[in-house]
Amino acid sequence: MTQRDLITGHVLQFRGNPFTQHWAEAVSIAENSAVLIENGTIVAVGEAARVSGPDVTLHDHSGRLVCPGFVDAHVHYPQTAIIASWGKRLIDWLNTYTFPEEMRLADPAYARTIADRYLDLALDHGTTSVASYATIHPTSVDALFEAAAARGMAVVAGKTCMDRNAPNGLRDTAQSAYDDSKALLDRWHGKGRAQYAITPRFSPTSTPEQLTALGALWSERPDVLMQTHLSEQVDEIAWVQDLFPEARDYLDTYEATGLLGARGVYGHSIHLTPREVARLSEVGASVVHCPTSNTFIGSGLFDLMGLARAGQCVGLATDTGGGSSFSMLRTMAAAYEVAQLRGAAVHAAQLLWLATAGSARALHRHDHLGAIAAGMDADLCILDLTSTPAITQRAAQADHIWDAVFPTIMMGDDRAVAQVWVGGKPRPT
């Protein structure tokens, strides 16, 4: 007998992109609705889901918001232990905190410990899928994929490649970056829910030869993602100009080496030139907004509304550990605050779309992840809309459902996560 699970509550659903059409036309909350899950897949939503029988287990979440599991489109799991490290801008932060910690993941046991810790923290906050950088050590990639498989999570990851401007213990070569990445790709891509991403850290830590080698690998395997960083800080951009004097701009260092394409995922992308914006949009590449990181390290204010309304594919991310929180709720709140500083008020529907369907689309996983609909993987995050006294007193004054949801986005944390489902199974609490 097939086991079926029926979840009841307020169900978040998407019909389109709330940045390119009015949010009310693209996003809705079906109050007092239902989701039916069978064999890890959503098979029905709404009245059609309301079935009963001895093979159906009811999970009553009345008054709670049933969301797709959050999708964190840009993280560095090796930086879990150094999150919230004080007082450095990007380059100093890398040298002072990041690189020494990443060298510790050469130890497979330590890499497993950090991978387990990171994924458990992500799940605690309702995040069911991530796209993560590892370190240069292939065992750090194995550790994350193994930990994700043990939890049934859909994870994207790749070996971080660097052959200059990094400590000796964190440098590879153009050839070893190609060879290691290819071997890891062959071992993990498409295994269970795992997907591989070719991962040069960023142009300052890769020679043109290494970028070209990774571009060649991507041309051989265009089905995988390529993830990197782009235009995070103005002093970083100046450094890139010094290192690549022939390049038209930062993006051109990737374009000239075969690392610009539709399955490219470019983290931060704050200080883009008009040419870069046009080229990213033209090729269909994704950019990822990392608001807590961008403010914590002092990088700048991402143009969310301008890029999204122009049709640019945008994801949302915590950027652990440059970001200051593991929570996608806190990340949505930060995205709202950054947009306010740029003169725009982002609606709760848009924020929730970014953290789920938008990020899934940025990672080219939107055919299975990021939405609640028949045929989608049953990765869910169920939010308690009255998780703290402060949120409860604000929600009690709500005139409509969106008014009740917004306080949880702005003030919620892991206490708001009532239950998490991964691959159709509730996570043990």
pLDDT tens digits along 12-64 = 999 999 999 999 999 999 999 999 999 999 999 998 888 888 889 999 999 99
Residue that has been written with the tokens 């782009």 in this structure: 230
For 128, phi then psi, to 5°, come to -105, -15
Q: Do residue 214 and residue 257 come from a single domain?
A: yes
Q: Using the 8-state DSSP alphabet, how is residue 54 labeled? A: T
For 353, phi then psi, to 5°, come to -65, -45
Query: From the centroid of its chain, how far is CA 239?
Result: 27
Q: 102 by DSSP, 3-state: which?
A: helix
Q: Residue 57 maps to which CATH number? A: 2.30.40.10
**pLDDT at position 91:** 83
**pLDDT at position 94:** 87
Q: Do residue 21 and residue 87 come from a single domain?
A: no
Q: Do residue 18 and residue 147 come from a single domain?
A: no
Count the Cβ atoms, other than its own, within 10 Å of residue 306.
Answer: 14
Q: How many percent of the chain have pLDDT more than 70?
A: 100
Q: Do residue 377 and residue 345 come from a single domain?
A: no
Q: Please say if the pLDDT value at position 327 is more than 80.
A: yes
**Spatial CA neighbour of 265 closest among 218, 216, 306:** 218
**pLDDT at position 12:** 98
How sure is the predictor about 312, in pLDDT bands with cuts at 50, 70 and 90?
Answer: very high
Q: Do residue 54 and residue 78 come from a single domain?
A: no
Give the CA-trace dihedral at 293, 407, 414, 152, to 10 degrees: -80
Q: Please say if the pLDDT value at position 417 is more than 70.
A: yes
Q: Do residue 353 and residue 396 come from a single domain?
A: no
Q: Do residue 18 and residue 145 come from a single domain?
A: no
Where among 362, 380, 399 does a domain terminate?
362
Peptide bond into 321 cis (omega under 30): yes
How sure is the predictor about 89, in pLDDT bands with cuts at 50, 70 and 90?
Answer: confident
Q: Which domain holds residue 23?
A: 4-68+371-426
Which residues are CB-contacts of 286 (< 8 A; sequence separation ≥ 6)? 73, 264, 265, 266, 313, 314, 315, 361, 362, 363
Count the Cβ atoms, other than its own, within 10 Å of residue 207.
Answer: 18
Q: Which two tokens stand for residue 184?
A: 């890891």
Which residues are CB-contacts of 82 (< 8 A; sequence separation ≥ 6)? 97, 98, 101, 321
**pLDDT at position 20:** 94
Q: Please say if the pLDDT value at position 247 is more than 70.
A: yes
Q: Do residue 117 and residue 58 come from a single domain?
A: no
Minimum mean pLDDT among 87-101, 188-202, 390-404: which range? 87-101
**Spatial CA neighbour of 303 closest among 317, 319, 291:** 291
Give tens-digit pLDDT for 212-238: 999 999 999 999 999 999 999 999 999
How sure is the predictor about 309, in pLDDT bands with cuts at 50, 70 and 90?
Answer: confident
With 0-12 / 13-18 / 19 or more C-beta atoms within 10 angstroms meaning exposed / middle / buried, residue 48 is exposed
Q: Do residue 64 and residue 74 come from a single domain?
A: no
**Spatial CA neighbour of 169 closest among 97, 236, 228, 101:** 101
Give tens-digit pLDDT for 173-185: 999 999 999 999 9
Q: Do residue 256 and residue 177 come from a single domain?
A: yes
**pLDDT at position 429:** 66
Q: Which two tokens stand for residue 252?
A: 């051109």
**pLDDT at position 87:** 80
Give the whole-angstrom CA distance, residue 244 versus residue 137. Answer: 27
**pLDDT at position 320:** 94
Q: Which two tokens stand for residue 130?
A: 């991530």
Where among 345, 362, 379 does a domain terminate?
362
Whether 113 contacts 146, CB under 8 Å: no
Q: Residue 174 maps to which CATH number? A: 3.20.20.140
Q: Please say if the pLDDT value at position 325 is more than 80.
A: yes
**pLDDT at position 54:** 82
Q: Do residue 54 and residue 75 come from a single domain?
A: no
Does 49 or 394 have the greater pLDDT score? Answer: 394
Looking at the structure of the chain, the number of domains it has is 2
How sure is the predictor about 2, in pLDDT bands with cuts at 50, 70 and 90?
Answer: confident
Q: Please say if the pLDDT value at position 147 is more than 90.
A: yes
Whether 321 contacts 88, CB under 8 Å: no
Q: Do residue 231 and residue 376 come from a single domain?
A: no
**pLDDT at position 360:** 98
**pLDDT at position 1:** 61
Where among 362, 397, 417 does a domain terminate?
362
- The mean predicted confidence, pLDDT, of the chain is 96
Count the Cβ atoms, other than its own, within 10 Å of residue 250.
Answer: 27
How sure is the predictor about 310, in pLDDT bands with cuts at 50, 70 and 90?
Answer: confident
Q: Please say if the pLDDT value at position 285 is more than 80.
A: yes
